[in-house]
Amino acid sequence: MSNGRLSIFLSLFIFGILFIKNLQGAQAVVGYYPAWSKYTFPANEIDFEMLTHITHAFIWPKSNGDLDMYSSIHYPDLVNETHQAGKKILVSVGGWGNCTHFSGVLTDSAKRQRLIDNLVSFCNEKGYDGVDLDWEYPRNNSDKNNLTQFVITLNQWLKANDSTRIVTMAVPAGAWGGQWYDFTAMAPYVEWFGCMTYDFHGTWTDHAGHNAPLYAPTHETEGCADDAIRYLKSRNVPGNKIIMGVPFYGRRFNTSGLYESSTGGEALNYSEIIPKMDAGWTYHWDALAKVPYLTNSDNSQLITYDDTVSVRCKCEYARDQGLLGIKIWHIGQDQLDGQQPLLSTIGAVILNSSSISSERVTNAPVPMRIAITSAFPNPFNSGVDIRYSLSYPMDIRVEIYDILGKRVCCLMNKYKDIGTHHIQFHPDDHLMSGCYFIVLSNRDGLADSYKVVYLK
């Protein structure tokens, strides 16, 4: 077998191993679809293979318990296409700016029942598979108790018409809002709690910071996704009832740097952010927060956002934490050159569909490249120093194979940051002299190999 054919064989072999489905942990991908998206992102462009649920936003309560809504919410094609794809669609009730009457309606038992009747009728008439509650936010103990009763009764009435229907809930990322939710009482009646792990920084903060950091330094009191998930678990919400939010948008700040004083906070779609790298903006990776950001040429502006690497980190975090899955606000914002790279990445990690190609997953704005740049000395005796470079932070594996394609050992299998790195290989006394291949690979199927000769 030639060196080239062996390299191809090893690349395919590694790609196959790394895409074996992990049956534990996260298994749901929930995509929010705002009513207004029908005009720019029609239902036939949704990549349903990467999703398990669609959440159609928004309708909301009037003061008497009747329903108000965007006129564009009426979209039978979205419901039909979702069901034809074998997926479920929920209608989301509330949303930022639409929650004025929740407290008053839920306080009055007659109005509360009227709202429940209207929601059940809406699902019956429009074909929805359940209701997603997005009250932003309950403010006191009375709201907390009334919300709990509302959830229990809504669940019962929905299931009385169709036992497969579900109730889900969007919840805040921390104690400030979370204190007014009785998670323990509601958990048996709620399919999942979707934690809004984004908008940690914006126009409301006096400094620039990440929109959706996975982790945060100790001086950052605004929080992060990890803090939010730990909070929910501390409130006795089991991991299989938690869905972590991932934004397909970022925020631009007028600032001299990360965590510096700022103005602004303008929201930008992923598809609006990526072209800025061709316009002179510089890419940075925050190794602590596990998210990227861009700065302009004179360091007067900063854009914080999520890319395919940070999204992958969050998906793997969700699986490691035993969470039910990921929710997205909102699908369609990552459309770029006819593809949806953020959604494809989530689908590959969480759903791990065998039909998802590596090209779809690795369609990142900064080309994802890995390379073994040198191995010295070569031939070697006691040891060889292996140098390799990564164009992106990623999980990588460094392995040694013999000439027949049999693995000799794995030198490393861990996350490494962008840049040039090195590792040493010192063979044991049992290794025979001969040709060997150093193989560098990542979980997206990228691989590089380097032939070395071992002389005892």
Of 155, 61, 72, which Cα lies nearest the Cα of 111?
Answer: 61
Please name every residue paired with 447 in a beta bridge, in sequence order, or none if there are none.
441
Identity of the residue numbered 183: F
CA distances from 268 to 30, 224, 312 (A): 21, 20, 20
The predicted pLDDT at position 357 comes to: 43
For residues 198 and 310, the answer to whether their CB atoms sit within 8 Å is no
Instruction: Please report which confidence band the pLDDT of residue 64 belongs to, taking 50, 70 and 90 as the band edges.
Output: very high
Mean pLDDT confidence for 235-240: 97
Exposure string of 180-214, with b = 16+ CB inside 10 Å and e = fewer, is bbbbebbbebbbbbbbbbbbbbbeebeebbbbbbb
pTM: 0.78
User: 98-115: per-residue pLDDT in tens?
Assistant: 999 999 999 999 999 999
342's CB contacts (< 8 A; 6+ apart) are 246, 248, 270, 306, 307, 308, 311, 328, 334
For the chain, percent of residues with pLDDT exceeding 90 = 73
For residues 34 and 43, the answer to whether their CB atoms sit within 8 Å is no
Distance (Å, rounded) from C-alpha 239 to C-alpha 171? 14
Identity of the residue numbered 344: S
CA distances from 249 to 46, 154, 331 (A): 17, 32, 10
Exposure string of 345-362, with b = 16+ CB inside 10 Å and e = fewer, is bbbbbbbeeeebebebbb
Total Cβ atoms within 10 A of residue 262: 24
More confidently predicted of 448 and 436: 436
The predicted pLDDT at position 26 comes to: 66
Residue 282 pLDDT more than 70?
Answer: yes
Give whichever of 348-352, 406-410, 440-444 has the largest mean pLDDT: 406-410
Of 60, 111, 109, 50, which Cα lies nearest the Cα of 82?
Answer: 50
Plot region of 420 (φ>0 → left; ψ -120 to 50 → alpha; else → beta) = beta
For residues 305 and 249, the answer to whether their CB atoms sit within 8 Å is yes
Name the least confident of 8-17, 76-85, 246-255, 429-438: 8-17
Distance (Å, rounded) from C-alpha 192 to C-alpha 183? 11
Q: Which residue has the tokens 């979707």?
A: 194
CA end-to-end distance (rounded Å), the chain:
24
Q: What H or E segment, with its residue span, contains residue 268?
A: strand 262-269
User: 286-337: per-residue pLDDT in tens?
Assistant: 878 989 999 999 999 999 999 988 898 899 899 889 999 999 999 999 998 8
Mean pLDDT confidence for 216-232: 95
User: 348-390: per-residue pLDDT in tens?
Assistant: 889 875 444 444 444 445 556 788 888 999 999 999 999 998 8
Please name every residue paired with 193 in a beta bridge, in sequence order, or none if there are none.
169, 242
The predicted pLDDT at position 448 comes to: 84
Residue 5 pLDDT more than 50?
Answer: no
For residues 309 and 394, the answer to whether their CB atoms sit within 8 Å is yes
Domains of the chain: 3-13+367-454 (2.60.40.1930), 23-251+306-353 (3.20.20.80)
User: 120-168: per-residue pLDDT in tens?
Assistant: 999 999 999 999 999 999 999 999 999 999 999 999 999 998 999 999 9
The predicted pLDDT at position 43 comes to: 98
